[in-house]
Amino acid sequence: MALDLADPTALAASINPPTRAVIGGRSVESASGQTFATLNPATGRELAQIAECDAEDVNRAVIAARRAFESGPWGRLAPADRKRLILRFASLVEAHADELAIIETLEAGKPISDCSGLDVPDLVTTLRWHAEAADKLYDQLSPSGPGRVGMVVREPIGVVGAVLPWNYPLMMAGWKIGPILAAGNTCIVKPAEQTSMSTIRIAELAIEAGIPDGVFNVVPGFGETAGAAIGLHSDVDCVAFTGSTEVGRHFLRYSADSNLKEVLLECGGKSPVIVMADADDLDAAAIGICEGIFWNGGQNCSANSRLIVQQSVADELLERIAERSHDWVVGDPLVAETTVGAMIEEDHLDKVLGHIAAAHEAGSTCAVGGKRVRQESGGWFVEPTVFTNVDPSSRLARDEVFGPVLAVTAFDTPEEAIRLANDTDYGLAATIHTTDLRTAHLASRAIRAGTVAVNCYGEGDITTPFGGFKQSGFGGRDKSIAAHEQYTELKTIWMDLS
Ligand code: NAD
């Protein structure tokens, strides 16, 4: 469907929601015939009924994926042919960009400007980047000397389950399926139950692009049923999970209780942003800090949710953050000017408001926002919020809120800043603002996090690995060649020629 984003609201009304599972190259109802409702977070109203897959559907999808891997054409394709098909898939995604952006906005409550300007383009870039890698990676010969040949080769790992979150549905799908498919595997994707439709739609486009039946399956459903069935299935070789640390732990148990499948976890965060007194542009820092916590309504694993600011510049910086927070417009996600959409669901809204209430009780000062807004819409919106005087041991400083709520703590010495930054169970991302080269280098090394940004808010790009230290991750990385390699097994082929 070719759409024109000039009038997103009218276009949203014309979308035909994709609601069925995709198994073995076909669009199907769930085996049980059950469905579940998916809601629009901006209105609280039902968008569609989605096929509710459970263990039986997962089993069907695993059989289809195994067949496609073992005996179907996918496993036998030359890397260049695999590349060609994934590139065609990426072009079809690009051609349907407006439709996908609208679906994403409707089911995730994300601003249309983000969905069309960031999320869908990121998916296209990711697919293309990994497709291009498919026929450019070489295996190795071991330095074992004459008379022996040691070949160290990488082979696809096999059938991969991908269990996804709701906060960046298409982006997270791309970070998994790009390298999974490019490395020659087949997959079963379970989108988050709140956001099934965009993933179903791209699986349909993959089939249209000629990706063989059974290579890319989608089983919408709930975590405790469909998600657990993937984790526990003995014919799944690897599970790639993005979501909360709490659920990530389940996947390690599932693996231990089944076939010791590989487990790759990308989990939560409580990322710090440090501002040293020597940071020369406090306004630029304030812009980056607001982006780091208010982008996607703070529903971002790498949200810079803790501001650790040197005492001598704290008041000035906070003044600028308060000003810049007004640049973040809470509104109808289908309106182009909106930059903060809705919280994903009512329970999540309550959780975020609970954190705000707890911060008040703990004696922190609410310097910006702090309330639910747009209640009349029926949707679940929270305004950009900043708390100062946050005790590092309080809930707001320690728990992942996953909402637009910044916790501010002041420090005196650089050593104290690093100690505060590392005083967390998480280690996904961090930012430091300083003009001192030495401080920038030393702090980047001292902070225990998968990505450290200097003088900007950023996660790198498709060429850089993304993942977490400590309880933010386990076993691997998304993006870059590191992601490609983690979906392969390393094999030694040894020949003694003597
Ligand atoms: P979640 O853990 O609740 O759910 C993630 C997925 O796991 C969903 O598909 C869900 O259905 C499934 N699931 C839930 N319970 C399950 C169970 N018992 N067994 C098997 N599967 C189960 O996470 P969420 O609320 O969708 O997403 C938010 C979380 O994701 C945050 O913690 C965020 O930090 C994290 N996240 C991390 C990254 C990263 O790259 N590190 C990126 C995005 C989101």
Residue 2 belongs to some domain of the structure? no
**Ligand 1 atom closest to the CA of 245, numbered from 1:** 32
**One domain for residues 212 and 338:** no
**One domain for residues 217 and 306:** no
Identify the band that residue 15 occupies on the pLDDT scale cut at 50, 70 and 90: confident
Question: Ligand 1: distance of its center to the CA of 289 in Å?
Answer: 25
Domain count, the chain: 2
pLDDT digit string (tens) for 88-124? 999 999 999 999 999 999 999 999 999 999 999 999 9
Residue 496 belongs to some domain of the structure? no
Which helix (H) or strand (E) segment is 492 a member of? strand 488-496
Q: Is the CB of 193 under 6 A from ligand 1?
A: yes
Nearest protein CA to atom 16 of ligand 1, as residue: 223
**One domain for residues 343 and 422:** yes
Q: Is the CB of 254 under 6 A from ligand 1?
A: no
* Nearest CA among 346, 370, 348 for reference residue 359: 370
**One domain for residues 260 and 303:** no
User: Is residue 149's pLDDT more than 60?
Assistant: yes
Residue 304 belongs to some domain of the structure? yes
Residue 483 belongs to some domain of the structure? no
**Of 237, 267, 297, which marks where a domain is finished?**
267
Q: Is the CB of 291 under 6 A from ligand 1?
A: no
**One domain for residues 64 and 198:** yes
The CATH number linked to 397 is: 3.40.309.10
The predicted structure's pLDDT at residue 10: 84
Question: Ligand 1: distance of its center to the CA of 314 in Å?
Answer: 34
**Of 267, 293, 325, which marks where a domain is finished?**
267
The predicted structure's pLDDT at residue 8: 83
**One domain for residues 133 and 157:** yes
Q: First and final CA of the chain: distance in angstroms? A: 64
Identify the band that residue 212 occupies on the pLDDT scale cut at 50, 70 and 90: very high
The predicted structure's pLDDT at residue 4: 61
Residue 411 belongs to some domain of the structure? yes
Q: Is the CB of 426 under 6 A from ligand 1?
A: no
The predicted structure's pLDDT at residue 2: 44
Identify the band that residue 241 occupies on the pLDDT scale cut at 50, 70 and 90: very high
Average pLDDT, the chain: 97
Residue 322 belongs to some domain of the structure? yes
Whole-number Å distance between alpha carbons of 107 and 40 = 5
**Of 200, 234, 267, which marks where a domain is finished?**
267
Question: Ligand 1: distance of its center to the CA of 149 in Å?
Answer: 45
The CATH number linked to 93 is: 3.40.605.10
Q: Is the CB of 242 under 6 A from ligand 1?
A: yes
* Nearest CA among 213, 168, 166 for reference residue 194: 166
**One domain for residues 91 and 222:** yes
| Global pTM value | 0.97
**One domain for residues 430 and 373:** yes
pLDDT digit string (tens) for 388-444? 999 999 999 999 999 999 999 999 999 999 999 999 999 999 999 999 999 999 999
**One domain for residues 202 and 216:** yes
Residue with tokens 């926002």: 369
**One domain for residues 187 and 223:** yes
Residue 159 belongs to some domain of the structure? yes
Nearest protein CA to atom 7 of ligand 1, as residue: 223
What are the structure tokens assigned to 413, written together?
């010495």
Residue 416 belongs to some domain of the structure? yes
pLDDT digit string (tens) for 269-321? 999 999 999 999 999 999 999 999 999 999 999 999 999 999 999 999 999 99
Domain extent, residue 382, equals 272-462
| Residues that are catalytic | 266, 301
Question: Ligand 1: distance of its center to the CA of 450 in Å?
Answer: 19
